[in-house]
């Protein structure tokens, strides 16, 4: 027993190492051990207890995960007022928009709390506490276990630990695997489900530059939106009710009007979604040869068809705004990351590390026994799954990610088939399912345009026939290739003519008198059943998981042993992290210097009335021309965005950028084009975090929108 305990202690200590200022996504409970001295030298005036405390209000209490970690938001008032990015609130802004109330185009501002708009499904989760529980899990594991046995044991222990952590509370708890399965941490959280939209600038501010400027610097985007958290009258989380009250914030961030200078300390707290910094060269090649090219090609076709319809019809523009934005963001990310991985020779650098690792392993028989197969396992898994991975992604992109909307909506009908197949004992269930489908369908058809779905589906079917072997085609697509002789237009025309799913009136009429026979003959339902080919491929891909997971875990464990004292940290996984750096500029290429901030002058210089991406409202031009910036401008200028060298990724969108005094400088919203490889290989010289200046945010709220009542809730530090 003593040997096992010493092994666990050694493993824990091996991971507790110091860090560079700009790289790393650090767990809050560990910062007092490894980060504070360096942060204090850089300008941090706070203590570790002021950043993370389980007994007192601290910075962690002001920062929450939106929608299970899709974005981050921060409290900025004692009454639950939240700031996040415009693109993080985009779905809600779009949902509440219509031709009559075009909040996307014109913005939205609740001038009283009664006007704040509820959002079903919108959540904010705050961290209550965290602790490492490796010592409770690692001793129960051994290398003789296969993946199924190991995972089963881990899940059992996680359930027990989580249950014990929440006894007698309304909190939730999860145990998260870190460092590729080598360490484990418990997170106790509190989730609020009544989150209301309070304000958002028009797209011409909140998405200024759109796809053209996305991932680019210099940037001039006012990427923010405002929400408010509500609780039950007892102050605890509660579903929406008119009786709910604003959250009484444990801690909220003061707003700094002092600004920043080059070299100033900057800390980012948030919920980064996913990084793969310990990825091997074979996995990078998989990205470059399969994943990115597929995504770029397929989404490019979908998006061209969608944007053409959106530009031709305001109703379609509103319907597809959020769908298009979600798709295009990661489409451009894939383009940029591919260029970055190639230009920075990331494959070559990974190969050098792998060669050094192999040499180190071969020097000792005990290392060979422990780590000798780690890289081999990864390589063989990645090489073995290539063809399946390609087919799997094609089905995912062409069918499941907006390629065939009506097919995906038909998946909601599976419960109806089940109860209709044996209606006698389930008569009440039939009624419940039908009512549920009516509710779901209202949301679907609100943002559905038959003509757009028809065009995109036709293009996607053509792609599948052209690009995939018959072995991987769903049966309905194979039928297009054989029975219809590859004529996708003919198949789609018949599909839309006969399906009850593609038309709201027909669908509701069907629900009034549901028939199992009609359902099973419906082309959309048949196509949905056929699309289960995707899950068959997922099952076949899972056959490679055992070797890949084991190899990845042992490779990282070996790297830590190989480089004692080197800076290692866990990849992002939507748990709360912080990192620190400084405000600064950079040289993107020879003889070009990008300064660390932009101003409103740049918005006016980019204006192009003929291009919706660069429209500027008359109101903003009026304020600019009069230099009417209030307390938010300095010397006749108004800063819009700025850059720091903080380490961020998806999920950090909306994260607060905090100065050394714990005050809000801005909101993180993007990375830069030159370092798009950053999720798998951080570039110290090039990587930048792009942030909207909090003074620009306040200017838009106060001077542009006239919503000074919101500013009055906040604490402004001058």
In this structure, are residues 436 and 497 in contact, taking their beta carbons and an 8 Å threshold? no
Q: Where are the alpha helices (DSSP H) in 639-707?
A: 694-699
Q: Is the dihedral of CA 663, 666, 671, 672 positive or negative?
A: negative
More confident residue, 176 or 431: 176
Confidence of residue 426 (pLDDT cuts 50, 70, 90): low
Per DSSP, 253 falls in state: P
Residue 673, pLDDT above cutoff 60? yes
- Tens digits of per-residue pLDDT, 682-701? 988 899 999 999 999 999 99
Q: What pLDDT does residue 429 have?
A: 84
Confidence of residue 635 (pLDDT cuts 50, 70, 90): very high
Structure tokens at 113: 């709390």
Structure tokens at 696: 């620009």
> Can 274 be counted among the known catalytic residues?
no
> Can 223 be counted among the known catalytic residues?
yes
Q: Is the peptide bond before 319 cis (omega within 30 degrees of 0)?
A: no
Q: What pLDDT does residue 428 have?
A: 72
Rg of the chain over all Cα atoms, to the nearest angstrom? 27
* Strand blocks (E) in 457-515: none
* Residue 299 zone, left/alpha/beta (φ > 0; ψ -120 to 50; rest): alpha
CA pair distance 114, 208, nearest whole angstrom: 29
CA pair distance 296, 287, nearest whole angstrom: 12
Residue 16, pLDDT above cutoff 60? no
For residue 670, list its beta bridge partners: 690
In this structure, are residues 282 and 377 in contact, taking their beta carbons and an 8 Å threshold? no
- Tens digits of per-residue pLDDT, 24-39? 899 998 888 778 999 9
> Can 292 be counted among the known catalytic residues?
no
What's the rounded mean pLDDT across residues 171-180? 97
Residue 6, pLDDT above cutoff 60? no
What's the rounded mean pLDDT across residues 454-469? 98
Structure tokens at 179: 């460092």
Mean pLDDT score across all residues of the chain: 95
Q: Residue 646: which of 636, 656, 634, 633 has the closest Cα? A: 656
CA pair distance 315, 328, nearest whole angstrom: 20
Residue 3, pLDDT above cutoff 70? no
- Tens digits of per-residue pLDDT, 109-162? 999 999 999 999 999 999 999 999 999 999 999 999 999 999 999 999 999 999
- Per DSSP, the three-state class of 603 is helix
Q: Which residues contact 166 (CB under 8 A, 6 or more apart)?
A: 172, 173, 188
In the chain, what percentage of residues exceed pLDDT 90? 92
Identify the active-site residue in 58, 77, 87, 338: 87
Q: Where are the alpha helices (DSSP H) in 64-111?
A: 90-95, 103-106
In this structure, are residues 653 and 72 in contact, taking their beta carbons and an 8 Å threshold? yes
Q: What pLDDT does residue 457 have?
A: 98
Count, residues in the chain: 718
Confidence of residue 427 (pLDDT cuts 50, 70, 90): low
How many helices (H) does the chain have, and how many strands (E)? Answer: 32, 22
In this structure, are residues 367 and 360 in contact, taking their beta carbons and an 8 Å threshold? yes
CA pair distance 197, 606, nearest whole angstrom: 30
In the chain, what percentage of residues exceed pLDDT 70? 97
Contacts 24+ apart (CB under 8 A), 511-520: 511/434, 511/437, 511/438, 511/441, 514/416, 514/420, 514/430, 514/434, 515/420, 516/417, 516/420, 516/421, 519/413, 519/416, 519/417, 519/420, 520/417
Q: For residue 223, with 0-12 CB atoms within 10 Å meaning exposed, 13-18 middle and 19 or more buried, which class applies?
A: buried
What's the rounded mean pLDDT across residues 468-473? 97
Q: Which residues contact 613 (CB under 8 A, 6 or more apart)?
A: 208, 209, 210, 211, 212, 213
Tally of CB atoms within 10 A around 113:
14
Tell me which residue has tokens 């809730």: 713
Q: What pLDDT does residue 684 have?
A: 87
Q: Find the range with the poorest average confidence among 16-20, 119-123, 288-292, 675-679.
A: 16-20
Q: Which fold has domain 19-123+193-277+572-718?
A: Thrombin, subunit H (2.40.10)
CA separation (Å) from 404 to 324, 401, 459, 504, 548? 14, 8, 10, 16, 32
CA pair distance 256, 660, nearest whole angstrom: 11
Identify the active-site residue in 61, 213, 223, 693: 223
- What is the longest distance spanned by two Cα atoms in the chain? 77
Q: What pLDDT does residue 31 have?
A: 86
Q: Is the dihedral of CA 409, 414, 416, 417 positive or negative?
A: positive
Q: Where are the alpha helices (DSSP H) in 627-678?
A: none
Identify the active-site residue in 204, 653, 655, 677: 653
Q: What are phi and psi of 627, to 5 degrees?
A: 50, 40
Per DSSP, 113 falls in state: G
| Cα distance from N-terminal residue to C-terminal residue, the chain | 59
Q: What are phi and psi of 195, to 5 degrees?
A: -125, 115
Residue 8, pLDDT above cutoff 70? no
pTM for the model stands at 0.94
Using H for helix, E for strand and C for coil, what is the string for 445-470? HHCCCHHHHHHHHHHHHHHHHHHCCH
Per DSSP, 513 falls in state: S
CA pair distance 421, 583, nearest whole angstrom: 63
Q: What pLDDT does residue 710 have?
A: 98
**Segments making up each domain of the chain, as ranges:** 19-123+193-277+572-718
Per DSSP, 117 falls in state: B
Tally of CB atoms within 10 A around 137:
20
Q: What pLDDT does residue 243 have?
A: 97
CA separation (Å) from 604 to 48, 204, 223, 601, 718? 43, 12, 17, 5, 27
Tell me which residue has tokens 């708009």: 117
């Amino acid at each position: 027993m003593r040997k096992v305990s010493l092994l666990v202690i050694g493993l824990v200590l091996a991971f507790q190492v110091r860090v560079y200022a700009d790289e790393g996504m650090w767990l809050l409970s560990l910062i007092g051990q490894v980060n504070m001295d360096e942060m204090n030298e850089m300008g941090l005036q706070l203590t570790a207890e002021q950043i993370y405390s389980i007994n007192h209000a601290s910075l962690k209490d002001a920062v929450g995960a939106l929608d299970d970690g899709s974005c981050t938001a921060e409290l900025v008032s004692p009454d639950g007022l939240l700031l996040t990015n415009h693109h993080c609130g985009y779905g809600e802004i779009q949902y509440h928009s219509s031709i009559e109330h075009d909040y996307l185009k014109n913005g939205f501002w609740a001038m009283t709390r009664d006007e704040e708009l509820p959002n079903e499904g919108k959540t904010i989760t705050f961290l209550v506490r965290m602790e490492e529980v490796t010592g409770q899990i690692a001793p129960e594991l051994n290398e003789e276990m296969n993946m199924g046995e190991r995972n089963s044991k881990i899940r059992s222990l996680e359930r027990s630990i989580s249950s014990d952590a929440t006894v007698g509370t309304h909190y939730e708890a999860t145990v998260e695997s870190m460092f590729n399965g080598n360490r484990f941490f418990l997170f106790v959280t509190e989730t609020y489900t009544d989150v209301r939209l309070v304000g958002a600038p028009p797209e011409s501010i909140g998405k200024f530059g759109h796809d053209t400027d996305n991932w680019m610097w210099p940037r001039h985007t006012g990427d923010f939106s405002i929400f408010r958290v509500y609780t039950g009258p007892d102050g605890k989380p509660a579903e929406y009710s008119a009786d709910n009250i604003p959250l009484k914030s444990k801690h909220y961030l003061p707003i700094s009007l002092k600004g920043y200078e080059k070299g100033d300390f900057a800390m980012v707290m948030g919920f980064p979604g996913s990084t793969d910094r310990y990825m091997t060269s074979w996995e990078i090649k998989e990205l470059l040869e399969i994943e990115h090219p597929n995504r770029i090609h397929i989404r490019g076709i979908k998006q061209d068809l969608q944007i053409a319809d959106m530009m031709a019809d305001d109703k379609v523009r509103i319907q597809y705004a959020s769908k298009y934005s979600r798709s295009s963001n990661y489409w451009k990310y894939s383009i940029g990351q591919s260029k970055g991985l190639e230009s920075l020779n990331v494959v070559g650098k990974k190969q050098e590390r792998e060669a050094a690792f192999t040499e180190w392993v071969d020097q000792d028989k005990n290392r060979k026994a422990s780590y000798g197969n780690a890289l081999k396992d990864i390589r063989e898994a990645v090489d073995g799954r290539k063809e399946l991975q390609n087919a799997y992604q094609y089905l995912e992109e062409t069918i499941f990610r907006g390629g065939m909307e009506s097919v995906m909506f038909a998946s909601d009908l599976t419960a109806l088939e089940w109860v209709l197949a044996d209606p006698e004992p389930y008569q009440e269930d039939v009624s419940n399912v039908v009512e549920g489908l009516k509710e779901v369908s209202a949301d679907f058809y609100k943002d559905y345009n038959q003509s757009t779905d028809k065009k995109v589906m036709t293009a996607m079917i053509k792609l599948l026939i052209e690009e995939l072997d018959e072995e991987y085609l769903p049966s309905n697509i194979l039928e297009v290739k054989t029975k219809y002789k590859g004529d996708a237009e003919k198949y789609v025309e018949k599909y839309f003519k006969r399906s009850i799913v593609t038309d709201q009136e027909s669908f509701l009429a069907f629900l009034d008198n549901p028939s199992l026979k009609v359902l099973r003959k419906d082309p959309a339902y048949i196509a949905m059943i056929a699309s289960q080919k995707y899950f068959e491929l997922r099952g076949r891909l899972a056959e490679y998981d055992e070797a890949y997971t084991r190899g990845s875990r042992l490779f990282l464990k070996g790297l830590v042993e190989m480089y004692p004292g080197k800076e290692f940290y866990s990849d992002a996984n939507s748990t709360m992290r912080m990192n620190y750096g400084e405000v600064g500029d950079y040289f993107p290429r020879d003889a070009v210097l990008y300064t660390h901030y932009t101003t409103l002058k740049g918005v006016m210089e980019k204006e192009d009335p003929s291009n919706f991406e660069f429209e500027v409202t008359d109101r903003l031009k009026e304020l600019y021309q009069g230099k009417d910036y209030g307390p938010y401008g300095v010397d006749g200028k108004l800063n819009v965005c700025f850059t720091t060298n903080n380490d961020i990724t998806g999920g950090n969108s909306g994260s607060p950028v905090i100065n050394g005094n714990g005050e809000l400088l801005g909101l993180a919203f993007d990375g830069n084009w030159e370092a798009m490889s950053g999720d798998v290989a951080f570039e110290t010289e090039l990587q930048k975090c792009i942030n909207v200046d909090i003074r620009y945010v306040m200017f838009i709220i106060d001077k542009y929108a006239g919503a000074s009542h919101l500013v009055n809730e906040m604490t402004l530090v001058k």
